[in-house]
Amino acid sequence: MISKEDLTKLSKLHITNILDLSLVVPKRYENNIILNYVTNNEQTFQAKILSTTQNPKFTKVKAHLINVDLIVDLIYFNIKPWQIKQFSTNPTIYIKGVIKNHQIVQPKVVTVVNQINVIYKTAINSKTLKPLIKKYITIESLQKELPKNIAQEIYNIHFPTKIPNLEDNYALKFTEIYNHIKKLQTKKRIYPAIKKIKKEITPFFNRLPFKLTNAQLNAIEEIQKDLDSSVQARRVIIGDVGSGKTIVMLASAYMANKSIIMCPTSILANQIYEEACKYLDEKVTLVTQKSKFSEEDLNNSKLLVGTHALLYQNLPQVDLVMVDEQHRFGTMQREQIARMTSENKKLPHFLQFSATPIPRTQALILSNFVNITLIKELPFKKDIDTFVIDKSDFRDLMIRIKTEISNNNQVIIVYPLVEESKNFNHKSLEEAQDFWFKNFEKVYITHGKDKNKEKVLEEFKNYGNILLTTTVIEVGISLPRLTTIVIVGAERMGLATLHQLRGRVARYGQKGYCYLYTNDKKNRRLQEFAKTLDGFKIAELDLMFRKSGDLLDGSIQSGKSFEFFDEVNNIHILENAKEFLRSQV
C-alpha cells in the first residue's frame, strides 16, 4: 500500500496503487557498464588522455581507451573552456560515445560507471519519483500482485542489470490490463433485490407466431437465472441491429411481476409498446409526454413503457427495470429510475440493452464490471449491398433511387451537417434540399434541432418517398418500406454510426442498398466496412482503426486508452490476466 502522503506526491500521475506506479516506465536508459570489447552502439570507455590539439574548426583529443586497448581521436566542435579543462586536469577519465573510423565525435564525460542509469520523464521531478519507486517497487511488493515471472520482469524494468526491451513487452501489457480489470472488479456493486423472480417462460414462447433464435433463447435463459436471485441482477444485453432485443425485453417483462422499459425517444417507446400489447396478455401502459394515462394505470399495469417522462411520475415499486439504448441516457438517469422504484435498500433487477456491438476484447474487460450478454444471431439473414461512391457515380445513384421509389420503397439521404460549413467539403442538409424537392415528390426533411422531428418521421413512414436528415435517424424508428440509404460524407463518421444508419434499411427481409458518398473513394476503412454486415466484426474494425474509449470512467469516447495493452491483438493476454485474477479470489 502506498501511504497517503506519498500518493499526494504522485497525484499528478493519477497513481492509486503499486501497479500504477510500476507502469511509470523509464523514458530511456544510459548504459554505463564498461565492456572489454567494441560494440556498434554507444558505450562507456576508460580513457587515458594522450594529447590535445585545437584549430579554428574543431578540437582533437588523442586518447587511449584502456578497456578495449585502442587509441582514438575524440573530436569536439565548439568545445567549451570547461571541457578542455576536464582533459587537461584529468589524464584518465570515463567517456561515452560511438567509435567510427577510430574516432568518437562529441563524446560525453561520465562520472558514474558500471551501472545502468534509469531516466524517467514525467510530470513530477525525478528526485521525487525515483525514491518512491525504490521504496515501493520491490520484488516482494510486486509478487503480492502479479505472477512471479511478471513481477521479476517489471522489477528489472526499473532496476535493470541489462537494458530491457520495452517494445511489445508482455509483462507491461499483462500488468496494465490486469490492473485495469482488477480496478473494474472493485466497482462492481452488489445490492439486495426487491424479490426473487421465478416464472415459467414457455407460455410466453407459445404465444409468439415465430421461433426465437438460439442467441435470443440464450439471453433469456441468462436473464432468467439472474432474476431468480436475491441479489440485484445487473446485466447489459448487446445485440446487433435487428437481432430481436425487443422480444428479449418482453420475455423479461413476462417473467417479472411488474416492470418498466425506458426508451430514449417516444417513437421507440411507441414501437415497443405496440409489440408489448401484441405479445403480453396483461395491462401495458405507455408513458410519454403526449400519451394519456392515469395514476391508476401506473399502479395497475404489468408493464410501463416510456421515455424520460417516466422520471417525472410517481412510479410504483417494480421488480425489474430495463433501459433500451442505454448509452443514450446519462448514468444519473439510469440510476434514478432504479432508485424511484426501489424499496429501502433493496433495488429492482436492472437490465440495459444496446444495439451498438462491442469487440470481444471490450466485452471481456467490461464483464469485470457488469454481466454481459451478446446477441450475435439475426432472425433472418440481411441482404444489403454496400457501395463506396463519389460524384462520378451520381447518375447511377439517381437511377437506383428512382427505381426504389417506383417499387413503393423509401429512401433516406443522411447529411453530416444541417448548415453550410467552410470546414466541410460536402453539401449540408440546407444546401442540398432544393435539389431533392425540385426533382422528387413526397420529400420530407428533419434533423436533431427540429422540434417536430418525431411527427415528421411518423408522416414520412406513412406517406414519404425520400427523407433528408442527419444522424438523428441512427437509432429507433422502424420503417418497413425503407430499402435504400445514402450517407453523405461517410469518411467523417465512425463505423459504429455507419452501421447503425445502415441498420435502418431492409429490416423485413427485402433487398437493401447502402451508399457511402465520399470524396475519398479508396478509403480503406470504408472499403472494409462495405465487406461485412456483422456488427461485431465492424466493432473489431472500429477498434482497429480508432482504438477504444476509456471503459473505466467513460470520460474518453475514442482514442487510445491503454499505453501498452493492444485491444486488437492482445486478447490472449487479457484472458491470461482474467484467469490469474480468478485464481487470486
Tell me what pLDDT residue 220 has.
97
Same domain, 23 and 63: no
Do residues 154 and 244 share a domain? no
Helix boundaries (H) for 90-160 = 126-136, 139-143, 148-158
Structure confidence at residue 328 (pLDDT): 62
Q: Within this chain, do residues 16 and 81 fall inside the same structural domain, yes or no?
A: no
Q: Does residue 115 belong to any structural domain of this protein? A: no
Q: Position of cell 519507486?
A: 133
pLDDT tens for residues 159-190? 998 889 999 999 999 999 999 999 988 887 88
The answer to whether position 551 is within a domain reads no
Are residues 334 and 412 located together in one domain of the fold?
no
Q: Looking at 337-346, 402-411, 431-440, 570-579, which range is the least confident one?
A: 337-346
Q: Kindly tell me if the per-residue pLDDT of 480 is higher than 70.
A: yes
Same domain, 301 and 342: yes
pLDDT of res. 269:
92
Same domain, 129 and 229: no
Tens of pLDDT, residue by residue over 37-66, are 999 888 999 999 999 998 888 999 999 999
- Tell whether the model's pLDDT for residue 474 goes beyond 70: no
**Mean pLDDT over residues 377-385, rounded?**
86
- Residue 75's beta-bridge partner residues? 60, 105
Query: What's the pLDDT score for residue 554?
Result: 42
Query: Domain containing 100 — which CATH number?
Result: 2.40.50.590
* 85 or 421, which is more confident: 85
Range with the lowest mean pLDDT among 303-307, 455-459, 471-475?
471-475
Kindly state the helix (H) or strand (E) to which residue 19 belongs, with its residue range. Answer: helix 18-22
Structural domain contains residue 543: no
Percentage of the chain modeled with pLDDT above 90: 62
CB atoms within 10 A of CB 554: 10
268 shares a domain with 207: yes
Q: Would residue 505 count as lying in a domain?
A: yes
Q: Check if the beta carbon of residue 486 is closer than 8 Å to that of residue 466.
A: no
pLDDT of residue 185: 86
Please provide the average confidence, as pLDDT, over all residues in the chain. Answer: 89
pLDDT surpasses 90 at 447: no
What Rg do the C-alpha atoms of the chain give, in angstroms?
32
Cβ-Cβ contacts under 8 Å for 106 (sequence gap 6 or more): 75, 76, 77, 97
Same domain as 17, residue 52? no
pLDDT at 552: 39
Q: Which domain holds residue 344?
A: 202-356
pLDDT of residue 557: 37
Is the pLDDT at 550 greater than 60? The verdict is: no
pLDDT at 366: 82
243 shares its domain with 322: yes
Over residues 470-496, the mean pLDDT reads: 84
Q: Which of 493, 510, 532 is the last residue of a domain?
A: 532
- What was the pLDDT predicted at 243? 87
Residue 35 included in any domain? no
pLDDT of residue 418: 78
578: which DSSP letter?
A: H
**Whether residue 350 sits in one domain with residue 220:** yes
What local confidence, expressed as pLDDT, does residue 340 receive? 78
Whether the per-residue pLDDT at 33 is higher than 50: the answer is yes
- Pick from 532, 549, 580: which residue ends a domain? 532
Answer yes or no: do 68 and 132 share one domain.
Answer: no
Predicted confidence at residue 558, as pLDDT, reads: 37
| Residue 475 in this model has a pLDDT that exceeds 70 | no
Q: pLDDT tens digit string along 316-342? A: 999 999 998 765 666 677 678 777 777
Q: What angle do CA 64, 65, 68 make, to 5 degrees?
A: 130
pLDDT for res 382? 85
**Sequence-ordered alpha helix ranges (H) in 125-265:** 126-136, 139-143, 148-158, 170-186, 202-207, 214-227, 245-255
Q: Compute the CA torsion angle 444, 488, 265, 555 (nearest 10 deg).
A: -160
Determine, yes or no, domain membership for 272: yes
State the CB neighbour count (10 A cutoff) for residue 5: 7
In a domain, 172, yes or no: no
Q: Of 84, 110, 136, which residue constitutes the final position of a domain?
A: 110
pLDDT tier at 451 (50, 70, 90 boundaries)? Answer: confident
Could you tell me if 92 and 231 lie in one domain?
no
Compute the distance between CA of residue 116 and CA of residue 30 in angstroms, rounded to an integer: 6
Domain of residue 306, CATH code: 3.40.50.300
Residue 455 domain flag: yes
pLDDT category at 551 given cuts 50, 70, 90 is very low
User: How many domains does the chain divide into?
Assistant: 4
| Statement: residue 96 has pLDDT above 60 | yes
